[in-house]
Amino acid sequence: LLTGSTGLVGGQVLARLAKHEIPVAVLVRSNRRQTAMERIEALMLRLEERFGRLLVRPVVLDGDICQVELGLSEFDRRWIAAHCGSVIHSAANLLFRPASEHPDNEPYRTNLDGTANLLNVMNAAGITEWHYVSTAYIAGLRDGTIFENESDVGQQFGNDYERSKTLAENLIRQSAAIESL
């Protein structure tokens, strides 16, 4: 299961999976202009043009990480449990403005609450293998050599994006349900 497939990083991940014919399901939300399926179809057409060949389509699950149970039906959640062995979580909100200026408390709503929602659904589905796309921004305002296992050492943050990604990474790292991260 891939989140964030319509974004910059997630789109590259989807491209590589499609190019190598690795089956994938994508969690995508509809927007005002396009359904989830239309968004993915447009992306797949661009990838086919880029690669010069037809590509197998991913299974499209119309949902939203910001919703409880990802906004998915019971049927879709059972489908995930039956067909997905791992999750690649690349969905994120890259807003650098203060969360207090955003009516939905972004980026916390997506980066932290969305990760918690995804974690809950993956736990219920028995999916214990996670690939989490983080960011070097979790280092905050530190200088010098910073190691990957130092996600939260009391550093100061320059903005809420950095803090939200650190909190989300901590949530995943502390989950007893994840066997492989």
pLDDT tens-place string over residues 129-178? 999 999 999 999 998 999 888 888 999 999 999 999 999 999 999 999 99
Helix axes 36-51, 8-19, angle to 10 degrees: 60
Residues in the chain predicted with pLDDT less than 50, given as ranges, are none
Cα dihedral 59→88→158→114 (10° resolution): 60
- Which pLDDT does position 151 carry in this prediction? 85
pLDDT the model gives residue 150: 85
**What pLDDT was estimated at residue 129?**
98
pLDDT of residue 127: 98
Q: What is the rounded distance in angstroms from the CA atom of residue 89 to the CA atom of residue 3?
A: 5
Q: How many helices (H) and strands (E) does the chain have?
A: 6, 5
Give yes or no for a contact between 15 and 43, defined as CB atoms under 8 angstroms apart: no
Neighbour-count burial of 56, counting CB atoms closer than 10 A to its CB (0-12 exposed, 13-18 middle, 19+ buried): exposed
